[in-house]
Structure 1
Amino acid sequence: MRRQTAGQLIRRLRESHRWSQATLAREACRAAGLPLDSLTRQDIYRYEKGQRTPRDWLPFIAAALGIPIEELKSAAAVKPEEASPTTLADFLPEGDPLAPLAARTGRRIGSAAVTDLAQRAHGLRLADDVLAGGDLIAPALRELRSAVRLYREGTYTDSVGRGLLIGIGELTQIAGWIASDAGRHDEAERIYRLGLSAAYAANDSTLSANLLGSLGYQRINIGDIREGLSMARTAQHQAETAPPRARALYFDRVAWAQARAQDAQAAMSALGAAGEALAEHADEDEPGYLYWVDADELHIMEARVYTELRRPLRAVPLLTAVLSRYNATHTRELALYLSWLAVAYADANEPEAAAETAERVITLSSDVASERTAERVRVVLGALERFRNVPQVGALLRAAD
């Protein structure tokens, strides 16, 4: 039987009291007879995430929550693998950032506003295909603020309200991606969590999973592999009835997380599941934000997984095949995918090919305002460092110094 960990129990009971993490910290301090800053909101956050165990604070947290200490001690003994599965709701932000204003003064909103919002979100997606985060962050945030204000201030039917929530969720997905590409990771996380609230309130599990998977993907890429993997897995499990291309995307993110965790078997299994899901794609009704998920994108992820697992002989053929037909106007993605090819060449002990590819990466990256490509340039140069004595590599590294 699966049970709750101490973190899961603390969060469930805290939310049943309608307390914030800061409030619980203060109440536990009062129960302990200590200064109110002896336990902080960040401590409660870490307890709930399983990053720390309360230990000495167990009796005071139990007292604050009104439960026997034995119940919390029992939960503290539960191992993560024995615990109840994580759900999308576990990743919702504190409070309700989309709560309507007490006095709505805005105009009556109709279905045309929902259509307009969807078109604006898709326009940002198409712009992101050819522009980078640094170029798009300002208009993306402007669109998002406008949409949230429309929802909070306007009056509308339940159907229109749900449509607005979905539109906000779709805007946050692309705005979060843009913020992340601009290197503004904290802001991207806040945006993704706002979108998760909107999609959850709209009962759109496919969109919720996409947002949670996007947040997990960012977490993985900035080094928080454990939490990123948890998010990717939860998104995949919570959207088992999603359209085929959505499920393929969620499995791909799990594969990437497992590769970063160096679990080759799990990564390969997830890649296989992604391929099987995509094979089911036909003419089904699906959200517009899945337009870019196709066989080539899955091959790119497969090659990235192989590169991460240091299997360059599998990665190179996949990357060269896809890149031979890749849209050259998508400069950022082209630079990113070439960066994986450069690393794979280096791992295959082909320094000249790696240097030639790296030079293309650097040239392309110089034209885009993307922190992703800048970071990949640093990774590629690091991979080439051991070949500094090779003339072509040495020249490239000296030019980059």
Structure 2
Amino acid sequence: MSGNIGANIRRERDRCGWSQARLAREVCRVAGVQGEPVGRQEVSRWETGKRKPREWLPFIAAALGVPVGALTEPQKPAEPPLPTLADYLPTGDPLAPLSARAGRRIGMGQVDDLQQRVHGLRLADDVLAGGDLIRPALRELRSAVKLYREGSHSGEVGRELLRQVGELAQIAGWIASDAGQYVEAESIYRLGLSAARQAEDDTLAGNLAGSLAYQLSNTGREVEGIQLARAALDGAGTDAPAKARALYLDRVAWAHTKAGQAQPAMRALGEASEALSQDSEGSEGPPYLYWVDSGELQVMESRVYTELRRPLRAVPLLRDVLDRYDATHTRELALYLSWLAIALADANEPEEAAATAERVITLSADVASERTAERVRVVLARLDDYRDVPEVRAVLDGAA
């Protein structure tokens, strides 16, 4: 019976769109108790069946706005539920505060310092590759988690710390993924998702989930990529900032593309463009979305066309993007050129494809990125169909 109760509590909490921490606060409010005798961990124990709610059950039902019977009766869903972001949280609680915090008092000053370091790391990722940044990124993440777990702080400061841990996990996960450390990256993304959910920051949670979905789609887990990309979009809700929704829809488009599903991919691209059109210069939005603009949507659109073998649409878009791209962003330049090389090969232009591939190889030589290395392998494999063309054979022999 306790297992049914736990599943029912979780179902009703998800229906309300609440985090476990939010439910804990609402239960205490309904019960009229001072302090926080019920916390997020206690709710987690109820939902996993590790502990029975007992005397708290009426207050849980009241907080959720359902009769007690709705929580105690066996529930038989008509069909398996779609995954939600809660399904991707890490096991246990790696962010649980220590039972006795002996550390120094943490205030907003330390939060601001951490925020500056996170932003600096994000800017560094614009020009450096994962292999160069993974060590400092992991050091910063471990330091931030330790600061939250061991320091003494108010509830407001704690939430801001969790938000910075989530932001740091997103960029550290991205860096680890770029370095080819996919298992490490997935663990980092899940940690960040837990932090974002506890901070009740749905936009940040969507960014983390979308980043992980992108990795899944690119590493042979296409079905999971679609499910998680959709869960990220649904979890953020319609009130998410315009740039955030555009980014989530971009991830959905890519997930469907990697699964070979052209129609939903194109539909998501159209919705992403529509979402971004609702953004205005003065609109509020998280600073970490600074890079999401019409140019980035054009990049994704061109990549989708390339993957779907529609070179006549992909080539003009990619050339337009590359004509105005910042040459200091070597990794991204190499990546975008790799898609142009593929699109040119698909358009039966092997000589131009070979010349573009030469640039990709040259740019990638000094970039410590598994993503660019993988794209070089993809380009060379595609060019092999034109081995009899002298320009292509020269590129292939040089790479060998």
TM range (shorter): 0.7 to 0.9
Superposed counterparts of 1:150-165, under 5 Å: 150-165=147-162
Amino acid at match of 1:267: A
Give the stretch that moved more between structures: 8-17 or 187-196. Answer: 8-17
Amino acid at match of 2:109: A
Contact 2:7–2:48 (CA under 8 A) maintained in structure 1? no
Q: Deviations over 1:331-390 (max 9, x none)?
A: 000000100000000111110111000000000000110000000000000110100000
Asked whether 1:229 is paired with 2:233, we answer: no
Query: 1:103, CA displacement in angstroms?
Result: 1.7
Structure 2 CA distance for partners of 1:207 and 1:258, relative to 1, 3 Å? same
Asked whether 1:207 is paired with 2:204, we answer: yes
Structure 2 CA distance for partners of 1:238 and 1:12, relative to 1, 3 Å? closer
Q: Deviations over 1:292-345 (max 9, x none)?
A: 011111000000000111101100000000100000000000000100000000
Contact 2:85–2:235 (CA under 8 A) maintained in structure 1? yes
Q: Secondary structure at the match of 2:367?
A: coil
Query: 1:15, CA displacement in angstroms?
Result: 6.4
Q: Secondary structure at the match of 2:131?
A: helix
Query: 1:284, CA displacement in angstroms?
Result: 1.2
TM-score, normalising length: structure 2: 0.82
Q: Secondary structure at the match of 1:190?
A: helix
Q: Distance in 2 between matches of 1:219 and 1:248?
A: 19
Q: Distance in 2 between matches of 1:341 and 1:237?
A: 33
Structure 1 unaligned segments of length 5 or more: list them.
Answer: 1-7, 21-66
Q: Distance in 1 between matches of 2:261 and 2:289?
A: 27
Q: Secondary structure at the match of 1:328?
A: coil
Asked whether 1:363 is paired with 2:362, we answer: yes
Asked whether 1:112 is paired with 2:102, we answer: no
Give the stretch that moved more between structures: 250-259 or 11-20. Answer: 11-20
Q: Secondary structure at the match of 1:314?
A: helix
Which residue in the other structure is 2:169 paired with?
172
Superposed counterparts of 1:167-316, under 5 Å: 167-239=164-236, 240-282=238-280, 283-316=282-315
Q: Distance in 2 between matches of 1:256 and 1:108?
A: 44
Structure 2 CA distance for partners of 1:139 and 1:254, relative to 1, 3 Å? same
Q: Secondary structure at the match of 1:141?
A: helix
Which residue in the other structure is 2:59 paired with?
none
Q: Distance in 1 between matches of 2:115 and 2:318?
A: 33
Q: Distance in 2 between matches of 1:186 and 1:382?
A: 26
TM-score, normalising length: structure 1: 0.81
Q: Distance in 1 between matches of 2:321 and 2:9?
A: 45
Superposed counterparts of 1:133-144, under 5 Å: 133-144=130-141
Contact 2:253–2:264 (CA under 8 A) maintained in structure 1? yes
The alignment's C-alpha RMSD in Å is 2.2
Structure 2 CA distance for partners of 1:12 and 1:241, relative to 1, 3 Å? closer
Q: Deviations over 1:201-220 (max 9, x none)?
A: 00000000000000010010
Q: Distance in 2 between matches of 1:9 and 1:319?
A: 48
Query: 1:83, CA displacement in angstroms?
Result: 3.5
Which residue in the other structure is 2:380 paired with?
381
Structure 2 CA distance for partners of 1:315 and 1:11, relative to 1, 3 Å? farther
Which residue in the other structure is 1:87 paired with?
84
Which residue in the other structure is 1:96 paired with?
93
Contact 2:9–2:47 (CA under 8 A) maintained in structure 1? no
Q: Distance in 2 between matches of 1:96 and 1:333?
A: 35
Asked whether 1:323 is paired with 2:295, we answer: no
Query: 1:88, CA displacement in angstroms?
Result: 1.5
Q: Distance in 1 between matches of 2:91 and 2:311?
A: 43
Q: Secondary structure at the match of 1:86?
A: coil
Give the stretch that moved more between structures: 280-289 or 193-202. Answer: 280-289
Q: Distance in 1 between matches of 2:265 and 2:339?
A: 17
Q: Distance in 1 between matches of 2:49 and 2:397?
A: 56
Q: Distance in 2 between matches of 1:18 and 1:264?
A: 39
Amino acid at match of 1:89: A
Amino acid at match of 1:297: E
Which residue in the other structure is 1:33 paired with?
none
Which residue in the other structure is 1:145 paired with?
142
Structure 2 unaligned segments of length 5 or more: list them.
Answer: 1-5, 12-43, 51-71
Amino acid at match of 1:333: E
Q: Deviations over 1:123-169 (max 9, x none)?
A: 00100000000000000000001000000000011110000000000
Contact 2:173–2:188 (CA under 8 A) maintained in structure 1? yes
Structure 2 CA distance for partners of 1:384 and 1:19, relative to 1, 3 Å? farther
Amino acid at match of 2:387: R
Query: 1:85, CA displacement in angstroms?
Result: 3.6
